């Protein structure tokens, strides 16, 4: 596609959760470069403001709102504040996530519940909150949920995380089917291991680090490379795509 304008987000307002660092930060900044105005959320306002400064320096609007995605009431309040601040949301990116490298036999019920809450339950209720607004507004919308390569093929030491991310993939299909009549597309992006603070911490585990060998391109992804997939699905270039999980995995799932 030679028409770069197909990938423009000009005139669109996007919510990104988990936006203070890593993939969420890259999505926010690159989407602003593509023309979007932003509402960014995470638990720490100081970190959000650092990202917002970069976005505002591009001449884009950026609202910072704290949110704990493990809490449904916090999610609902976050969405309400985002709508009030902007007047309307066109795109939701459910990016916030959490993982802990742990053998199944060592996973406690509390750890399991927290991982499911942050990675799967938050997606369900975040989408529910924003879609009510999108339907009432009557202008359609885009939802993009961040899954993972291990949500497609599984992986050791990440059992609860793989369960949650696998759930994101199938939840995305169900939502796409349910909301298509309203002009709302719902897709997922499934990254490989990406150079983020969470993955760098996980790399301290030798068994986890060995998984890099499965990436055919021979390296971890950069956050900006994941942001490119988000922009595609959020832009006019992705109009006819819904219910799909786009793997950005360097070939990890090929063999």
CATH of the domain at 41: 3.40.50.720
For the chain, the first-to-last Cα distance in angstroms comes to 29
Nearest to 214 by CA among 192, 243, 230: 192
Residue 255 lies in a domain: no
Dihedral angle of Cα 212, 214, 218, 222, to the nearest 10 degrees: -60
Catalytically active residues, by annotation: 161
**Partners of 189 in beta bridges:** 146, 246
Say if pTM beats, i.e. exceeds, 0.85.
yes
| pLDDT at position 4 | 63
Residue 97 lies in a domain: yes
Helix (H, G, I), strand (E, B) or coil at 193: coil
Q: What is the mean pLDDT of residues 233-248?
A: 98
Model confidence at 2: pLDDT above 70: no
Hunting for tokens 């916090």 — which residue is that? 74
The pLDDT value recorded for residue 198 is 77
Q: In this structure, what token pair is assigned to residue 172?
A: 């995305």
**C-alpha closest to that of 99 among 187, 159, 40, 144:** 159
105 is a domain residue: yes
Domain of 138, in residue numbers: 4-239
Q: 248 lies in a domain?
A: no
Question: Is the pLDDT score of 203 beyond 90?
Answer: no
Confidence of residue 142 (pLDDT cuts 50, 70, 90): very high
Q: Is the pLDDT of residue 194 over 60?
A: yes
Backbone angles phi and psi of 46, in degrees to 5: -60, -40
Percent of the chain with pLDDT over 70: 98
Asked if residue 246 is part of any domain, the answer here is no
**CA-to-CA distance for 86 and 205, rounded, in angstroms?**
43
245 within a domain of the structure (yes/no): no
Q: Is residue 252 part of a domain?
A: no
Count CB atoms within 10 A of the CB of residue 86.
17
Number of domains in the chain: 1
- Collapsing DSSP to helix, strand or coil, 38 comes out as strand
**Residue 254 counted as domain residue:** no
Q: Are strands 141-146 and 13-17 parallel, antiparallel or unpaired?
A: unpaired
């Amino acid at each position: 596609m030679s028409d770069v304008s197909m990938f423009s987000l000009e005139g669109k307002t996007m919510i990104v959760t988990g936006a203070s660092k890593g993939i969420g930060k890259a999505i926010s900044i690159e989407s602003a470069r593509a023309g979007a105005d932003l509402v960014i959320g995470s638990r720490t306002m100081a970190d959000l403001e650092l990202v917002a400064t970069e976005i505002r320096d591009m001449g884009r609007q950026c609202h910072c709102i704290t949110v704990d995605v493990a809490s449904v009431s916090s999610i609902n309040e976050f969405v309400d504040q985002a709508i009030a601040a902007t007047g309307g949301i066109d795109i939701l990116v459910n990016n916030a996530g959490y993982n802990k490298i742990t053998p199944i036999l060592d996973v406690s019920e509390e750890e399991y519940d927290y991982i499911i809450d942050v990675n799967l339950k938050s997606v369900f209720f975040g989408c529910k909150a924003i879609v009510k607004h999108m339907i009432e507004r009557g202008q359609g919308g885009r939802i993009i949920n961040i899954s993972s390569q291990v949500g497609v093929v599984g992986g050791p030491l990440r059992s609860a995380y793989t369960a949650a991310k696998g759930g994101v993939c199938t939840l995305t299909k169900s939502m796409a089917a349910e909301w298509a009549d309203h002009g709302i597309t719902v897709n997922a992006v499934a990254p490989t291991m990406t150079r983020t603070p969470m993955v760098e911490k996980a790399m301290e585990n030798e068994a986890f680090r060995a998984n890099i060998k499965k990436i055919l391109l021979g390296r971890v992804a950069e956050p900006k490379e994941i942001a490119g997939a988000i922009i595609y699905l959020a832009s006019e270039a992705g109009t006819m795509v819904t219910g799909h999980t786009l793997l950005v995995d360097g070939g990890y799932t090929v063999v």
